[in-house]
Amino acid sequence: SGDILIAPSILAADFARLGEEVAAIDAAGADWIHCDVMDGHFVPNISFGADVIKAIRPLTNKVFDVHLMIAPTDAYLEAFARGGADLITVHAEAGPHLDRSLQAIRSLGRKAGVSLCPSTPEATIEYVLDRIDLVLVMTVNPGFGGQSFIGSQIEKIKRIRTMIGERPIRLEVDGGVTRDNAAAVAAAGADTLVAGSAVFRGRGAADYAANIEAIRAAAEA
Ligand code: DX5
Ligand code: ZN
SS3 5: strand
d(CA 194, CA 96): 26
Catalytic residue from among 36, 39, 65, 133: 36
% of the chain surpassing 70 pLDDT: 99
pLDDT band of residue 203 (cuts 50, 70, 90) is confident
DSSP notation for 124-172 = GGGGGGGG-SEEEEESS-TT-SSPPP-TTHHHHHHHHHHHHTTSS-EEE
Q: Would you state the pLDDT for residue 2? A: 67
Q: How many whole angstroms separate alpha carbon 169 and alpha carbon 80?
A: 21
Which one from 39, 65, 174, 191 is the annotated catalytic residue? 174
pTM score above 0.90? yes
Ligand nearest to the CA of 149: 1
Q: Supply the residue whose CA is at minimum distance from atom 1 of ligand 1.
A: 142
Kind plus residue range of the DSSP H or E element containing 220 = helix 205-220
Tens-place pLDDT, residues 11-61? 999 999 999 999 999 999 999 999 999 999 999 999 999 999 999 999 999
180 is catalytic: no
pLDDT, tens digit (0-9, with 9 covering 90-100), for 73-129: 999 999 999 999 999 999 999 999 999 999 999 999 999 999 999 999 999 999 999
Span from the CA of 166 to the centroid of ligand 1 (angstroms): 28
Ligand 1 environment, Cβ below 6 A: 9, 11-12, 34, 36, 67, 69, 140, 142-143, 145-147, 174-177, 194-198
pLDDT tens digits for range 137-169: 999 999 999 999 999 999 999 999 999 999 999
Provide the residue count of the chain.
221
DSSP string, 168-205: S-EEEEESS--TTTHHHHHHHT--EEEESTTTS-SSSH
Apex 116 CA angle, 74 and 61, nearest 5: 65
Known binding residues? 9, 34, 36, 67, 143-146, 174-176, 196-197
Per the annotation, the verdict on 174 as an active-site residue is: yes
**How far does residue 110's CA lie from ligand 1's centre (Å)?**
22
